[in-house]
A = this chain, B = another copy of it.
Amino acid sequence: GITSLLANGVYAAAYPLHDGDYEGENVEFNDRKLLYEEWACYGVFYKYQPIDLVRKYFGEKIGLYFAWLGVYTQMLIPASIVGIIVFLYGCATVDENIPSMEMCDQRQNITMCPLCDKTCSYWKMSSACATARASHLFDNPATVFFSVFMALWGKQGLSGKNTGDDPRFIAEYEARVLEKSLKKESKNKETDKVKLTWRDRFPAYLTNLVSIIFMIAVTFAIVLGVIIYRISMAAALAMNSSPSVRSNIRVTVTATAVIINLVVIILLDEVYGCIARWLTQIEVPKTEKSFEERLIFKAFLLKFVNSYTPIFYVAFFKGRFVGRPGDYVYIFRSFRMEECAPGGCLMELCIQLSIIMLGKQLIQNNLFEIGIPKMKKLIRYLKLKRQSPPDHEECVKRKQRYEVDYNLEPFAGLTPEYMEMIIQFGFVTLFVASFPLAPLFALLNNIIEIRLDAKKFVTELRRPVAVRAKDIGIWYNILRGIGKLAVIINAFVISFTSDFIPRLVYLYMYSKNGTMHGFVNHTLSSFNVSDFQNGTAPNDPLDLGYEVQICRYKDYREPPWSENKYDISKDFWAVLAARLAFVIVFQNLVMFMSDFVDWVIPDIPKDISQQIHKEKVLMVELFMREEQDKQQLLETWMEKERQKDEPPCNHHNPKACPDSLSSPAPSHAYHGGIL
Closest to A558 in B: B570
Residues of B close to A667: CB separation below 8 A: 627
Give the docked Cα–Cα distance between A245 and B580 (Å): 46
Residues of B close to A642: CB separation below 8 A: 649-651
Closest to A663 in B: B631
Looking at the complex, which of A11-19, A116-124, A222-230, A583-591 is the stretch in contact with chain B? A583-591
Given B481, B587, B630, B645, which contacts A650 in the complex, CB threshold below 8 Å? B645
Residues of B close to A646: CB separation below 8 A: 647
Q: How close is A576's CB to chain B, nearest CB, in angstroms? A: 4
Q: How close is A499's CB to chain B, nearest CB, in angstroms? A: 18
Q: Within A484-525, which residues are at the interface with B (CB < 8 Å)?
A: 484, 488
Given B573, B577, B581, B671, which contacts A623 in the complex, CB threshold below 8 Å? B671
In the complex, the answer to whether B620 meets A675 with C-beta atoms within 8 Å is yes
Identify which of A581, A664, A671 gathers the most chain B CB atoms within 10 Å of its CB.
Answer: A671
Per-position 1/0 for A151-172, Cβ under 8 A of B: 0000000000000100000000
Per-position 1/0 for A469-484, Cβ under 8 A of B: 0000000010001001
Q: Within A618-675, which residues are at the interface with B (CB < 8 Å)?
A: 619-620, 623-624, 627, 630-631, 634-635, 638, 641-642, 645-651, 657, 661-662, 664, 667-668, 671, 674-675
Interface presence of A613 (CB below 8 A): yes
Interface presence of A609 (CB below 8 A): yes
Given B609, B661, B674, which contacts A164 in the complex, CB threshold below 8 Å? B609
Give the docked Cα–Cα distance between A624 and B583 (Å): 59
Interface presence of A232 (CB below 8 A): no
In the complex, the answer to whether B613 meets A638 with C-beta atoms within 8 Å is no
Interface presence of A385 (CB below 8 A): no
Residues of B close to A662: CB separation below 8 A: 631, 634-635
Interface presence of A569 (CB below 8 A): yes
Given B574, B577, B587, B613, which contacts A587 in the complex, CB threshold below 8 Å? B587
Interface presence of A374 (CB below 8 A): no
Interface presence of A616 (CB below 8 A): yes
In the complex, the answer to whether A580 meets B584 with C-beta atoms within 8 Å is yes
In the complex, the answer to whether B674 meets A631 with C-beta atoms within 8 Å is no
Residues of B close to A164: CB separation below 8 A: 609, 613
Given B573, B635, B638, which contacts A574 in the complex, CB threshold below 8 Å? B573
Per-position 1/0 for A546-587, Cβ under 8 A of B: 000000000000000000000001100110110011011001
Secondary structure call for the A interface? helix
Residues of B close to A631: CB separation below 8 A: 661-662, 664
Q: How close is A290's CB to chain B, nearest CB, in angstroms? A: 12
Given contacts A573-B573, A647-B646, whether A671 and B620 have CB atoms under 8 Å apart is yes
Give the docked Cα–Cα distance between A515 and B634 (Å): 91
Residues of B close to A599: CB separation below 8 A: 477
Closest to A583 in B: B584
Residues of B close to A630: CB separation below 8 A: 664
Residues of B close to A588: CB separation below 8 A: 488
Residues of B close to A664: CB separation below 8 A: 627, 630-631
Give the docked Cα–Cα distance between A540 and B583 (Å): 49
In the complex, the answer to whether A638 meets B657 with C-beta atoms within 8 Å is yes
Give the docked Cα–Cα distance between A675 and B613 (Å): 11
Residues of B close to A581: CB separation below 8 A: 580
Give the docked Cα–Cα distance between A349 and B668 (Å): 64
Q: How close is A673's CB to chain B, nearest CB, in angstroms? A: 12
Residues of B close to A616: CB separation below 8 A: 675
Closest to A592 in B: B484
Identify which of A624, A630, A662, A675 gathers the most chain B CB atoms within 10 Å of its CB.
Answer: A675
Give the docked Cα–Cα distance between A584 and B491 (Å): 11
Residues of B close to A573: CB separation below 8 A: 570, 573-574, 576-577
Per-position 1/0 for A238-251, Cβ under 8 A of B: 00000000000000
Closest to A633 in B: B634
Give the docked Cα–Cα distance between A591 and B485 (Å): 11
In the complex, the answer to whether A649 meets B657 with C-beta atoms within 8 Å is no
In the complex, the answer to whether B661 meets A634 with C-beta atoms within 8 Å is yes
Residues of B close to A634: CB separation below 8 A: 634, 661-662
Q: Within A581-619, which residues are at the interface with B (CB < 8 Å)?
A: 581, 583-584, 587-588, 591, 595, 599, 609, 613, 616, 619
Residues of B close to A650: CB separation below 8 A: 641-642, 645
Residues of B close to A576: CB separation below 8 A: 573, 577
Per-position 1/0 for A109-129, Cβ under 8 A of B: 000000000000000000000
Q: How close is A597's CB to chain B, nearest CB, in angstroms? A: 14
In the complex, the answer to whether A641 meets B645 with C-beta atoms within 8 Å is no
Q: How close is A174's CB to chain B, nearest CB, in angstroms? A: 19
Give the docked Cα–Cα distance between A646 and B651 (Å): 13
Closest to A641 in B: B647
Give the docked Cα–Cα distance between A477 and B576 (Å): 36
Q: How close is A197's CB to chain B, nearest CB, in angstroms? A: 15
Q: Can you list 6 A-B contacts (CB < 8 A)?
A: A484-B591, A488-B588, A573-B574, A580-B584, A587-B587, A620-B671
Binding site for B on A (CB under 8 A): 164, 477, 481, 484, 488, 569-570, 573-574, 576-577, 580-581, 583-584, 587-588, 591, 595, 599, 609, 613, 616, 619-620, 623-624, 627, 630-631, 634-635, 638, 641-642, 645-651, 657, 661-662, 664, 667-668, 671, 674-675
User: With contacts A627-B664, A641-B649 known, what are 17 further pairs, Cβ within 8 A?
Assistant: A164-B613, A570-B570, A576-B577, A580-B580, A583-B584, A620-B671, A630-B664, A631-B661, A631-B664, A634-B661, A634-B662, A638-B657, A645-B647, A645-B650, A646-B647, A671-B671, A674-B675
Nearest 8 pairs between A and B by C-beta?
Answer: A573-B573, A580-B580, A577-B577, A576-B577, A570-B570, A573-B574, A641-B647, A645-B647
